[in-house]
Chains A and B, each alone.
Chain A
Amino acid sequence: DTEVTQTPKHLVMGMTNKKSLKCEQHMGHRAMYWYKQKAKKPPELMFVYSYEKLSINESVPSRFSPECPNSSLLNLHLHALQPEDSALYLCASSQIWTGNQPQHFGDGTRLSIL
């Protein structure tokens, strides 16, 4: 079992729906990340939060909206997604953003857009 917990494990939504992905860690990590992974590809960084502040946005479309309510929680709000957004969405955390701290990944949310 991973120490980064993601819910739901699977999500199917229409292009007009609004849904949210949730990520939780209780390791005291102060950096949290969202990645997108397509089949047979490596994870691609989307967002980085450091001490609950957004540090990096990799030019992600505004239909993806991240939120970090506290140091243990990370959400990804989804609205008006496109079929090409179907992918595995991974959350990760590390002690801090800098200093080459290892990143620990959750098992992801498998998202399908109809």
Chain B
Amino acid sequence: QQQVKQSPQSLIVQKGGISIINCAYENTAFDYFPWYQQFPGKGPALLIAIRPDVSEKKEGRFTISFNKSAKQFSLHIMDSQPGDSATYFCAARGNTGTASKLTFGTGTRLQVTL
């Protein structure tokens, strides 16, 4: 119940295209859903986060869509650029007990080609 399932494992998108990464969770105690971007040799950097009281959050080219009833959330990267090539991790966390720990998805390696 602590798992966060992430897909796809890897993704190749042309420059200017839309990258879409999906995540699903089971634990209804989760109420905070961040996305992290990690470049090789660097630590994960917080990209954008959403709480379940909103269905969508947009920051620049990055948008999180959230479907509470389906327990799914996704990251959309519009106008993808080669500089977006990185590994993306979705994550989830609750407010109490074992859900307080940040649970990561398995990661998606995104490659944006010219």
Residues of A in contact with B (beta carbons under 8 Å apart): 2, 4, 40-43, 45, 48, 56, 90, 92, 97-100, 102-108, 110
Are the CB atoms of A41 and B46 closer together than 8 Å?
no
Partner of B43, one of A90, A97, A102: A90
B41: min CB distance to chain A, Å: 7
What sequence of 0s and 1s flags, for each residue 73-106 of chain B, a beta carbon within 8 Å of any chain A beta carbon? Answer: 0000000000000010100010110001110111
B73: min CB distance to chain A, Å: 15
B49 at the interface (CB under 8 A from A): yes
**Minimal Cβ-Cβ distance residue in B for A97:** B100
Q: Which residues of B contact A2 (CB under 8 A)?
A: 43, 45
Are the CB atoms of A105 and B43 closer together than 8 Å?
yes
Residues of B in contact with A (beta carbons under 8 Å apart): 31-32, 34, 36, 41-46, 49, 51, 87, 89, 93, 95-96, 100-102, 104-107, 109
Are the CB atoms of A100 and B31 closer together than 8 Å?
yes
B3: min CB distance to chain A, Å: 11
Q: Which residues of A contact B34 (CB under 8 A)?
A: 102-103
Q: Which residues of A contact B45 (CB under 8 A)?
A: 2, 105
Are the CB atoms of A98 and B44 closer together than 8 Å?
no
Are the CB atoms of A102 and B46 closer together than 8 Å?
yes
Are the CB atoms of A42 and B107 closer together than 8 Å?
yes
Are the CB atoms of B51 and A100 closer together than 8 Å?
yes
Q: Which residues of A contact B51 (CB under 8 A)?
A: 100
Given contacts A98-B95, A102-B49, contact A43 B104 (CB under 8 A): yes
Are the CB atoms of B95 and A106 closer together than 8 Å?
no
Q: Which residues of B contact A106 (CB under 8 A)?
A: 43
CA distance A35 to B109 in the complex (A): 20
Are the CB atoms of A90 and B44 closer together than 8 Å?
yes
Q: Which residues of A contact B36 (CB under 8 A)?
A: 105
Given contacts A98-B96, A99-B95, contact A104 B104 (CB under 8 A): no
Inter-chain pairs besides A42-B89, A100-B51, 4 sampled, C-beta below 8 Å? A43-B44, A90-B44, A104-B46, A106-B43
